[in-house]
Every structure is written in structure tokens, then in C-alpha cells.
Chain A
């Protein structure tokens, strides 16, 4: 909304500087966004919030200025016009669509340029003068906030006006010269044969007022805001008119605005009123009074206010104020303030007019409550701490992705997805069902930019129909592990990602199995180098880990590096976190460690050997640690070397070599008997 000081001064005495005016309006809720100088006057550009359609006019803003500066508001004096009895034919098909339609036919007008007092005012708010008739409708729109339209009466076929829904297939060339396709969701003004205007939005080219126009039909109406808004959206066409109708024009003052326009036309374009019609509401109930207690206002604002000040402010803003009891007001809001319905609305009027900056400050009393913090907040923070401690940096990625991205990482096509109905681009098409593509593309971008050590994680959600949001932790490693000395650099390998997961699981006291003999994990991970993570005795899948498939790396243009990925459901990860740990007494008797070096069949896994050792529950055996795996000359082909370390300790005595040797020999014997192993 543009407002010029030139025009403003018609209705309120203004002595302040432009900066003060802008500041005070802004601090009263009418934000001045730009100021431009026009000769000795200024034009202010303001953001009017949707609750204040009354401020979409110069008189509306003048009233605000008067209230804020405590000046007198002097609206234009508009005299009632005596309209002739003769009626032009107007039909309103549905009063819900059009609550009021006034048509005034004025004959023998003289279409010519407007006088300078009108053009100056229009130009002061960047409106282009066209001709006296059109300018007067624009002038009234700006001055009173009432949109109007003038038709060339002689071009209306049948000479009458019908307010109806558009018929399927109807079209209209609007005054901007564009052909518009109409449909029954839209309201039009039609003559007996065709639409001549899109109601409340824009008139038609064929019936517009031109230099040749002799007789006009002036429209002053009220259209349903929702209807106008929908039509604006579906046509992608808005105007100064529709902007006001959408937000709500004051139907009670439309007649007044019509008087103003007709009077101006008669003055400036001559002519005489030939016919008139008024369809719709003529009398209006006053708004319901709102009861406001001064003590409540004071208490709510935390500031003692004087009844006198409140009353003055409300009156200047156009309210009727009656003092009922001591310090209890009954406030009847003016017809143009449909936003004032409850006492809090009245309180806001008082507060903003005084200025929020003039009101006191206090600290609220925040009472302790039984509402517990969402436990996930703490757990997420712990996960971050753990992973950052392991040198991983956190990333944040979009939850909406391009469906093609899923295809390129071979995400199963038949898995259901949450789709967005109204994406602006393909990159907002679906909600990610898996976090992998997000991290992989971050890795690819960083590798492209020359990063050698990619060590990242994200805590975020994945989404499945119908409306499932599961929080996941995802980890990605690529490139080389660095510690500041290049000679120590080495490429990441599978145990790196597994180790990170193991430490993470341990820190949450979680004993999820990272290996379970079952089908290979997600198809974007390499077969034989990836695993699902299972919980509940292998019943449900809660994550996966492994090496990323090399073909996928190729499509992502990631070269010369392996990529490792893991993800785990956050709730599964923290499922044991609430348990209180119990202290294990420390043992002071020394332990004895014995290594076993084995040559084992290639197919044997460490887990097989460990479980074989454990089957007989050997006495004093405290732990079994992996030492190394060896392949090479020292073991025959088809076999591998494997060294484990067994630690023995007793809680009650210092073990002797002999005690340990007995158990250890039994274990070795058991291994040799039960598995395809040779002690080296």
C-alpha cells in the first residue's frame, strides 16, 4: 500500500517530519518499508497486515495517523445523492456471492483528462491517470478503499447487468488484453449474452470506458472474499480491486463511496444520473459491544492505564465507547474493523496506539511443571557427542528429494514413498525413505572440492507412508584417515565403519548384533561387505552397515576411493540407555594372558572360534580378544592365520601358571577337536 503525504494531509493535520511519521506508523503496526521523495512531498510504501483492510485507503491511514499523533481526523464530507426512481436492470443470482450491487447509469458524460487535483493525487501514489471516469474510480478506491468499475453502458448487450457464475467454456478478454478462460468457480458480471467483467478482479476490454464513451454504468459492489481469493489464485490474476475484496471491503460504507464517486463524476465529467439500482443489503446491525474492564487491560499489559486515555484512543480509532460501570467500557467497533471481536483485540488497539515501547517489562513467573523434557533431546545430544568424539562432523540435509536420486542409488522401486502434492521442483518430489542419498551426495560434493577425509554423520528422519517419521543416525566414511602426518594416512576400510558403530553401541549399553547370517543389506551396499543390523532376536531390521557399491560410486562420479556407510534407527540404538548401570567390583589378583595362533579354514569366522571356546565355559577365562588375521606364505592356501588372546583371572586368588595351563590346554584341544584348525 502506497500513501503520499500530499494526499494524507487532506484529512489530517500533519506537522511531523517524514521520519517521525514513518517511525510512529511502524511502531503502531503499519510497517513502513520504503520512503521515496516526490518534490516537497513523500510517498511511503507500507506493509498492511491481512487483518487491517481498513488501512488499504488513504482515509483509513489518516485515521491511524490521527490516533497515533493525537490529532483530529477529518474525512471528506460526502453528501447523500438523490437517485432517480428509474431502475436499471440488475440481477444477482446468488446473494452469498455478491452481498451488494449498486449500479448507477450516468448519461452524456464527457470523457476527458482529469483535473490536476485528481491527477496529482493519483501520481503521488504511482497511479497513472487515464481519463476522468477511470481516474475517479481509482481515486475512490484509494481514498475510500472501495473498488469500483465503470462500464461503457452502450456496449452492454441488452443494457442490463447479471452477477452470476461463469459458464463452462466462457472466456473474456480483460482490460490488460489477455484472454481468460473462465469456469463455474468464478463469479462474473455479464450482460444478456456474455461475461463483461471478472467480478471484483478486472473488467473486460470490450466494455471499458473509452474516449468515445457517452453513457456509463458505475458499479459499486461487495463480493465474497473467499470467492475472489480462489479466482485470483486459479487465474493467477490480481489487481488493486481484488486485493481489497479478498481482505474485506466495508459493505456498510459502500453507499457512501458510491455517493462520492457519482458526485465527482457529475462534477468533473458532467452528465446526469439516468438510472440507479441497489440490490442487496441496505441496513446493517451495529456490531456487538465488547465489554472491557480497565483492570483487565492494566493487568494484561502489566501497566496501569488511565480510563481517559483508553477512551480517547478507542474513539479516535472509530469505536463507540460507553462507560458502563466504573472502569468498565462497552466498545462498539466501527463497521470497517471486522478484526475487533474480543477484549484482547481492544487491548491490542490501546497497546499499539500507546506504543509497545512505552509499556513496561517484567520477567514471567515460570512454574515448575510435571512436563518432562522429550528424552530424545538428551539422547540425540549424546549421540552427537559420541560421534564427534570419534572425529565425525554433523551434516544437515533436506528431507525432500528427487525421486531419480533414489533410482540412482538402486533403492527398491516398489517400496512405498510419501509424495508431495504440490512440489515446486522435482527436487521436492518425495520425502526421503532412507538417508543414504543425502550423505552420499554431500560426500560427492566434498570430494569434488578436494576434501580427502570425509567423516560425517547426520541425525535425521526418514519417512514412510502413511505418515511415519523414524529418526535415524547415519554415518559415512570416504577417502583417507588423516592425523596430521601424511605418512600415517591410510584408506578407510570396513573395520573403520564397524568400529565407529561398535563404540557408539557400547556407549548406549546396546548389544545389537552387527553380524547376522542373512540376506545382504540394501542394494546400494556391496554384497559380502554389508550387513543388516537386527534387533529383537533378529526379528526386525533396525539398520545396516557396509561398503557402498562401486557402480553407485561411479554414477555419483566418486573416483579412487571406497565409501563406507552405516545407519541405525535412533530408538533401537538408545533402547537400553535408560537402564541404570551396576558397578562391577575391580579385581586385584593379577591376570595371565595366553595367545593362541591358529591356522584355520578360510570359511571359519572369528565368531565360530569364539563360540567354540565359550561352549565349555572354561574356568577363569575372562575375555577373548582378537589379535590379528594373517594371509600369506606362512599358512597354506585355503587357510588363514588367526591369533586370539585369552585372558585368565580369578576373583579369589593369584592364578599359578599351572592352573592356567590346564584350562588353556583344554581349550586348545577343544578347538582342534571341533573345528578345522591347526595350532601354529
Chain B
């Protein structure tokens, strides 16, 4: 057997260079590695060699077969790449993808979460309370006597119940009865946030709704100060609306806090345009008495805010009805 392996290698390389598609590479594979291919015929010639030469030639054939294998593989994969590339050019990459869109959280829920998250970071716990309430929790315990002008701000839906002419069961007109429930259940220290739906008999228009959402906050401990109220709510407002807002605490009246204040914020630096965003104050001693706390043992701060109002101010919404119409075009904006 007298074969020039170098010559064979050169020949293979030339064949390989000429193959430019998958078919010609396959043809080449058959020519060299097929059952009747060149490599196989080389092996079959081995038998006729003298024994001492068999290992030497065997080794050389093996080497050659590896070179062929490697060459064919490389060629194949390089062709494969350009094949795929040429196919991809046919695909219009400006076509939209298959969009399995996520749904959207209602903006009111987002606003409630945003507000609750700020207070959670400050150590408050989120609690819940029922919407159907007693007159005691909604009014009397909060130092709002019956037939008093301080009830004027709290027009209330009462339930029509058989048997009981007027048992005072009502739909809570604010989230403050949640304070009463928490204090009846737990002793201080406590720091809770109570979000929820509230109801007031109102005709629905751009700025009124008979159902809306409020968030109540309550912090009671042995020595809570008025300065804490200012500090806490300033931190809250700046986190919610940004550091650039201006704020003021304006004295106000709420039966269940003393001193009481309303919080105004303003974005415009020049001519101030103050927007009222929440009510707050130091828990009235009568409220502590109503829940059976020892008089003088604790002080506390409380605040309440309207979720719709906050969302409207923050996102530039001018009609409260948009929250309850649930138009998908609105829901998907946020």
C-alpha cells in the first residue's frame, strides 16, 4: 500500500472548499465516510498489508478519518449558521411579538398600596374593619354626639332593618371607627393603618361619590407628641408627592382629635395654591375613655385621608367617576 496521505488531505480540503450547501457536504460525507467511501476502502486495504505495517497505516487512516470528520462538521455548522441567518432575513422583525399582557391593578388599589407601603416602612401594621358599623363606633366613641353640628360633615347611610325601627346600624361614613375597634382589642403601643370603603349619601358628580375610599392611621403610646404628628405626616407627604412640595398644618376641628389640623400641600412655588389632602390630630382624651384606656396614661396621633382625592391630585384626574366606570382604557393607563 502506497498512498500519499498528504495528497489525500489536500484533495479533501479542495472538495470541502467547493461545497457550499448542505447537500454537497452530505455528498462529500458519503464520498469519504460512506459505506463504500474512501476511508472504508482504505480500511479494507489494511488486511492485505504485512502485520508490522498494519498499526502504522491504521493510525494514519484514523488520523485522516478524524480530519475528514472534523472538516465536515465545521463546514456543516458554518453553513448552518448562514442558513439560519438567511432564513431570519425573511422574517419581518417589525412585526409585533405575541403579547401575553399582564392585567392592570386598579389605580385606587395602587394608591392604597403606595400609601400603606410608606407607613409600613415606618413601622405601621395594616388592619381591616367592617363597613357595616354601629352608631357607637362611628360616632359616640369618636366624641361625636347625636344631634350635634359636628355631625354635619358626616351624613350617613342607615340600614333599614325589620323589627328594629332605628337600631343605628349604619354604613361607616369614615374609617375612624376602625380606630375604636383596634383600641378595644389591643393595648398600646400600637401603630396601625386601616384602609377601606366608606359611604355618604351624596349624589354622584365630578367631585362626589356615595362610596369612596379612606385610609386611617393611628399611633398610640405613652408619649406621642404633636411634633411627632408633624414629622410623621411631613415624611409621608414628601415620600408620596416628592420632596419639592410645600406643606402646611392648618388648625381645624375634628371631634375625635385635639389639637386637630388639616394638611395642605402645594406644588407651585410662586403664588401658592394650597390643596387640602388630609385631616389629622392628637387623639382626644374622650376617645381613649370610650375604649376604656386609662385617662392620662397614653397619648396618640391619628389621621385620615381620602384615597380618590390623593389619586386625583397625584395623577391629574378631574372626575371622580372615572374610578368606578372601570373603562378599560383608563384601567390600562396605570
Contacts and interface: CB of A to CB of B under 8 A. Distances in A.
Nearest to B272: A23
B169 A352 contact: no
Interface string B19-48: 000000000000000000000000000000
B225 interface: yes
B102 A51 contact: no
A74 to B, nearest CB: 25
A392 B229 CA distance: 40
B128 A371 contact: no
B239 interface: no
A50 B157 contact: no
Interface in B266-309: 282, 284-285, 299, 301
B99 A247 contact: no
B135 interface: no
A409 interface: no
A463 B171 CA distance: 12
Interface stretch (A100-108, A133-141, A311-319, A417-425): A417-425
A372 interface: yes
Given A26-B250, A397-B326, A485-B98, A300 B225 contact: yes
B189 interface: yes
Interface string B222-245: 011111111110110000000000
Contact of B103 (A342, A422, A455, A469): A455
Interface string A191-220: 000000000000000000000000000000
Interface in A223-259: 225-226, 229-230, 246-247
Chain A CB count within 10 A is highest, among B103, B190, B191, for: B103
A344 B225 contact: no
B161 A466 contact: yes
Given A27-B250, A484-B99, A422 B157 contact: yes
Contacts of A282: none
A513 to B, nearest CB: 26
A299 B225 contact: yes
A456 B327 CA distance: 11
Contact of B210 (A395, A400, A418): A400
Nearest to B166: A421
Contacts of B255: 51
Given A359-B226, A361-B234, A371-B192, A395 B105 contact: no
Contact of A394 (B103, B123, B149, B228): B103
Nearest to A47: B252
A394 B109 contact: yes
Given A394-B104, A423-B201, A359 B230 contact: yes
Contacts, number: 254
Contact of B327 (A363, A390, A446): A446
Interface in B313-334: 323-329, 331-332
Interface stretch (B61-69, B79-87, B256-264): B256-264
A28 interface: yes
A9 to B, nearest CB: 24
Contacts of B97: 484
B173 to A, nearest CB: 12
Interface string B189-201: 1111000010101
A50 B253 contact: yes
A302 interface: yes
A369 B127 contact: no
B156 to A, nearest CB: 8
A344 B285 contact: yes
Interface string A360-403: 11111111110111101100010010011111111111111000
Nearest to A375: B128
A393 B104 contact: yes
Given A391-B102, A469-B130, A373 B125 contact: yes
A348 interface: yes
A454 interface: yes
B219 interface: yes
B219 A461 contact: no
Interface string B87-103: 00000000111111111
A420 B131 CA distance: 13
Given A362-B227, A373-B126, A393 B103 contact: yes
Given A31-B250, A363-B231, A483 B99 contact: yes
A494 to B, nearest CB: 20
Contact of A361 (B106, B231, B329): B231
B106 A388 contact: no
Interface in B212-226: 219, 221, 223-226
Given A50-B148, A344-B284, A396 B108 contact: yes
A26 B272 CA distance: 14
B55 interface: no
Contacts of B253: 29, 49-52
Interface residues of A, number: 90
B157 A421 contact: yes
A469 B282 contact: no
Contact of A357 (B192, B228, B248): B248
Contacts of A360: 227, 230
Contact of B100 (A27, A356, A483): A483
A301 B226 contact: yes
B251 A29 contact: yes
A217 B127 CA distance: 61
A445 B113 CA distance: 27
Given A28-B251, A371-B186, A399 B211 contact: yes
A451 interface: yes
Contact of B98 (A366, A369, A467, A484): A484
A29 B157 contact: no
Contact of B248 (A27, A342, A467): A27
Given A348-B258, A446-B327, A389 B128 contact: no
A460 B223 CA distance: 38
A348 B301 contact: no
B147 A371 contact: no
Contacts of A483: 98-100
B52 interface: no
A37 B206 CA distance: 30
A398 B324 contact: yes
A344 B186 CA distance: 24
Contact of B202 (A399, A424, A463, A485): A424
Contacts of A642: none
A300 B105 contact: no
B285 A299 contact: no
Contact of A422 (B106, B201, B284): B201
A82 interface: no
Contacts of A359: 226-227, 230
A302 B258 CA distance: 15
A422 B182 CA distance: 29
Given A348-B260, A423-B157, A445-B325, A302 B191 contact: no
A435 to B, nearest CB: 13
A114 interface: no
Interface in B110-150: 113, 116, 122-128, 130-132, 147-150
10 contacts: A28-B251, A51-B150, A356-B249, A367-B221, A369-B189, A388-B103, A391-B101, A396-B323, A399-B131, A488-B98
Top-7 shortest CB links A-B: A302-B227, A29-B251, A366-B123, A49-B253, A348-B259, A364-B228, A50-B149
Given A360-B230, A422-B158, A456-B103, 4 more contacts: A302-B226, A366-B122, A418-B159, A467-B132
